[in-house]
Structure 1
C-alpha cells in the first residue's frame, strides 16, 4: 500500500488537532511533523522531504503562499491548502490542479484531496507542484486587482531598468498589474524558477516575475549571480554558511532564514567561489 509522508501546518492549535484527527483516518498517510507557523513548515520540509504538505494559508508572518515561494522548486511536495478563501480563488486552484480543503474542515474535500494526491503520486505527476501553485497565486492576484489595473507601457518600464549610465545601478523590472517595481540587483539574494515564472527573494519579500530563469540570468550581473541548481540562482554576496549534505550536495544559508540546495552538477561553482575568497 502506498503511504505518503505528510506534514500538517496551522497556526491555530485546535485547527491543527482537528486536521490531524481527520487525516489519521487515512491509512495511506503518515503524519511525520506538525508545524504551527510558516518558518517551521519551511524547515521541516527541507529536513524531512515530505510527499505532501497540508498547509494553512492565512497565518501571521510567513503565510501559506509565502512558504511555497521560499522553497526551491525541486523540494516543494504536493500541497493541499486549508482555506476559507472566496470561490474565485478556489476556481483558480482548480484550474491549476492545486488541491484545497475548505474551512471549517470539509470532509468531502479532505477525501477528494487525499485521493487526488494518491493518484498523482502513483502516476508520478508530482514534479511541477510549485509551478502550479505560482500559477494559481498569479490568477488570484489578477482577479483581485482587475478593477485597479491600467495599461502599462513595457517600453517605458524597460527603459528605466535598461539605463547603462555609469551611475545607474542595474535593476530588474517587475510588473504586478497596476504596479511596476524596480528591484536593485544588489538586493536580490536568490532566485528560483517555477515554469514561466521566477521568484526573486529580497529582504524577506518574494517578488514574482513572468520570465524564464535563462532569460533572467542574461539580465543579471554575472560576477555576483551564479546558478547553483537547475532551478536556482544565488547572489554570492549573501552566502553566510555552506552546510554539507548527502551525495556530494550541500546547502547554502542565505541571510537569517533562507536555505537553498546546491546540486552536484553545480558544486564546482561554489567551490571556486570559496577558493577565491
Structure 2
C-alpha cells in the first residue's frame, strides 16, 4: 500500500517531537515536517494534503476544531484525524460516541500502536466514514474555547451526564501531569490559579474555581468557602469556634475555614 502522509500538529515542542519519534517506527507512515502552530497547520493541510493528522485540541490562536473548520472553508477535504488531548473521562467518551479516534496525553505506546494499526488497515473506510462526522462535529463546536467545547460535547450525550473524570490534567512548563482525583485533599485559590493539594504534593492549575468545580463529583467535593473546595472523605471533624465561625480539620491536620453559606451543606455531607 502507499505510505500515508502523516502530519503532527502541536504547539508543545516536547509533545510534538516525542510523538513524531514514535510514529517513525511505523513503516507505512510517511512523516511530514511537524507543525508547531495552528495557523501553519491550516496552510500545510490545504497545500500538502496529508492523509492523516495527529491534532492537538488546545492551542494558541485556533483550537483543533477551528483548524479543521478553516480547512473546510477553503473547500478542501479533511484528512483522517486523530485528536490528541489532555482531557480525560467525559471528553473522551464524547469522542468515542462520534467514532473519532483520540490519544490521551501523555501518549501511551500501546494505545498509539492500536490507533495507527487501525488507521492503516482501514484507511479508505475510516476516511470515508469520518468526513461527515467531522463536519458535523466541527459545526457543533467551532467558536467555543477548548474547555467549553469539550463540556458541550459531553453535555450533548447522556452517557456523560453523571460521570466525572478520574484524573485532572495539569499543564506546566511544557509538561502535563495527571493527578488522580481521589488523591486530592483540598483545593484553594491563589489569585488566578488553583492550588491542588493531592497526596504530599501541591500542583498549580490555571483554571477558575468554577471551571474546576464542574469536573468534580459534588458527592465527594464541596465548596467550603468562595476560594476553597474540600474532599469530604478527608474531613476528620467540623469545629465550632467561640466567635460562631466554623472550620474543618482534615485527616492531615490541615484546617479550612467554612463560610456560613456552606455550613449546612457540609454538616449534611459529614453526617451522611
TM-score by length of 2: 0.49
TM-score by length of 1: 0.48
